[in-house]
Amino acid sequence: MKLILTLAWRNIWRQPGRSLVLIGAIVSGVWAGVVVSGWANGLIEQRLVNLIQTEITHAQIHHPQFRQERESSMYISAPERIYQMLDSDPRVKSWAPRTLSDGMFQSPVAASGVRIRGVDVELEPKVTIFHEMITQGAYLDETMRNPVLVGEALAEKHNLEPGYRVVLSFQDVNNELVSASFTIAGLYKTHSTVYDERTVYVRMQDLSELINGSLAVHEIAILLEEESYSGNLIADLREQFPDVHSESWYELSPELRYLVDFGGMMTGMIMLIIMFALAFGILNTMLMALFERMRELGMLMAIGMNRQRVFAMILLESVLLTLSGGLAGLLAAAGTIRILMNRGIDLSVFGDGLAEWGFESVIYPVMTGADYGEVFVIVILAAILASIYPALKAVRMNPLEVEKE
């Protein structure tokens, strides 16, 4: 085997120019594939993290019909029993109740449909980082009467600033229209302009008082120590509290789950496409090398080299050639990814378009060891598959006929 390996390696460099061109193509293809995969993985992971940290958290609890009907009367009865369970569960990092309503946002300029989120001023910062996204003014000030936080996109649409007063209209638990004046405490900006334009934040006690006259909890947001705990926790919540609806983040946002699942296949798909194209280059190179060495291979078989060894030699030539380029491409890509993980890929020129879909303008690539392993396996498989035809053609030669030619 050592002799076959040595012969295969030397045969590669009999035509160094041709071999270097192919290796360069493989390096470029692998490097580009890995970097693009890392960018796509980073894009998806940042979207997931942002959504969990700013809005849906890892899990939520609602009235069974609330998410479909969104009526104010569909609040969770006796939420204290759920609080006790969450406080005693080591998987739960923190939780926060919310009061929710859909209504109208009215200013002297215009009126817009919005989703009103009543949050607990003390507990909400423990489950989301929303309070860190205030760009003007302050968080929901306890000393202010009926404060409201408005997204920059909505404020720009209505020409508003902190200190301005607006009117929120919504239905109470009796389906009667309620209107109340609120003062803008501050403006916020998330990574989604659509969310900023359609969502306002008020204090939970203010909204509950207007909706129900007392505390009305429509949602309990749960942040876990580890995302992987969500499945088991949801199963336990459903068993202990069958009268409420408990859901994990991937049930709350199925489109994000599909995106994450697709992202898990992204690296393999990109590399398969690239290596499929490169496989034709490998096949072409091996066929040219084979036709140049027909007499040599015929002579080797004539003096006693069996067909299995000839097949193995051709196969090893392809694998060694591809492996040289593949490893160099992986090393170059790993170095590039490491640099970009710190600096990020600035896509500010597309910032407005990305924000419409909830993505950041600076993307930090992500590649795991498993991703690199997947690329390595695909490279090896491409080399083997591309060399099978030339190797079969070589072993089917008749040494006597080759010598005559």
Mean of pLDDT values over 203-207: 95
255 vs 30 pLDDT, higher one: 30
Token couple for 312: 């193995």
Sequence length of the chain is 405
Mean of pLDDT values over 139-166: 92
| pLDDT tens-digit readout, 368-383 | 888 898 888 888 888 8
- CA distances (Å), origin 12, targets 5, 16, 159, 244: 11, 7, 69, 68
Residue 184 has pLDDT above 90, yes or no: yes
| pLDDT tens-digit readout, 271-284 | 888 888 888 888 88
Mean of pLDDT values over 143-153: 92
Contact 208, 180 (CB under 8 A): no
Q: Tell me, what's the pLDDT at 400?
A: 56
In the chain, the percentage of residues whose pLDDT exceeds 90 is: 45
Amino acid at 121: V
Query: Cα separation of 180 and 159, whole Å?
Result: 20
180 vs 352 pLDDT, higher one: 180
| pLDDT tens-digit readout, 210-258 | 998 788 999 999 999 998 899 999 999 999 999 999 999 989 988 888 8
Contact 371, 37 (CB under 8 A): yes
Q: Tell me, what's the pLDDT at 396?
A: 73
Mean of pLDDT values over 104-118: 94
Residue 405 has pLDDT above 70, yes or no: no
Q: Tell me, what's the pLDDT at 130?
A: 86
Mean of pLDDT values over 143-149: 91
Q: Tell me, what's the pLDDT at 304?
A: 67
Instruction: List, in sequence order, every residue forming a beta bridge with 244; answer none if it has no partner.
Output: none
Query: Cα separation of 299 and 316, whole Å?
Result: 20
